[in-house]
Amino acid sequence: MKKLAFFFIILIGLVVIAGCNQTRKSVTRFSTDDEGKTVIEEVKEDEGPKTTITQLDNGEKTEPVPIEIPAQNDEEAVKFAVTSLSKSVLETDKGYHFIEGTTPATTEKIVVNGYTLNKYKPGSTKWSYIAAVALGTLKQGENNYTVRAFDAESNELGSETFSIMYSGIEAGKLVPTGNGLGFTLILTAMGVFGFYAVRRRFAD
């Protein structure tokens, strides 16, 4: 019985020693060398220090480079453009068109074919123009328009050109409706001759 107990004590001791050796196997140590470089060392009790990474950087200090991000302003980013037309030439028979567009916030006035838009407010980023037969700004055939934007110092900020090919009626003319005059006269004559023919037949 004593031998068996002694055997267990020896076995437990060996297990404890092995566990201690395992836990004390290595230690990681950080240090700096004479040149100011960072060094990582893995230290083992039985082997002494062992360098695993000799250099993480070159020791040179660099100043951070500032990144300049320009201020974003939606109004200043707006460009001059005609936005209501998908192409530069519009073919139509309609006598009224509402033209819209955008312009920079520094715009003082909008000029269309030499005419300054009196409803445009300086500083607004949107503008509009009416091309209509009733206003005299739209006629039969080809109509060319040049829209220009100017700032307070009369510097041109942008310009656009477009055309409207109008095939409708001219101002002051009525749209013909119903049958033509010639066709009406023919129907009237046929009605008169038919009336007298029927009347004569019943008279006989």
Taking the C-alpha atoms of residue 183 and residue 190, their distance in angstroms, rounded to an integer, is 11
N-to-C CA span, the chain: 162
Q: What is the token pair recorded at 142?
A: 């080809």
pLDDT of residue 77: 82
Q: What is the token pair recorded at 39?
A: 């060094």
Taking the C-alpha atoms of residue 63 and residue 108, their distance in angstroms, rounded to an integer, is 45
Domain boundaries in the chain?
Answer: 75-166
Q: Provide, rounded to the nearest whole percent, the portion of the chain with pLDDT above 90.
A: 43
Q: Region 7-16: what's the mean pLDDT?
A: 58
Q: Are 157 and 150 in contact (CB under 8 A)?
A: yes
Per DSSP, helices labelled H in the chain are 2-23, 74-77, 181-203
Domain 75-166 is of which CATH architecture? Sandwich (2.60)
pTM of the model: 0.50
pLDDT of residue 174: 46
Distance, C-alpha 179 to centroid of its chain = 53
Taking the C-alpha atoms of residue 145 and residue 83, their distance in angstroms, rounded to an integer, is 14
pLDDT of residue 147: 97
pLDDT, one tens digit per residue, over 78-131 is: 999 999 998 999 999 999 999 999 999 999 999 999 999 999 999 999 999 999
**Residue 85 gets which letter from DSSP?**
-
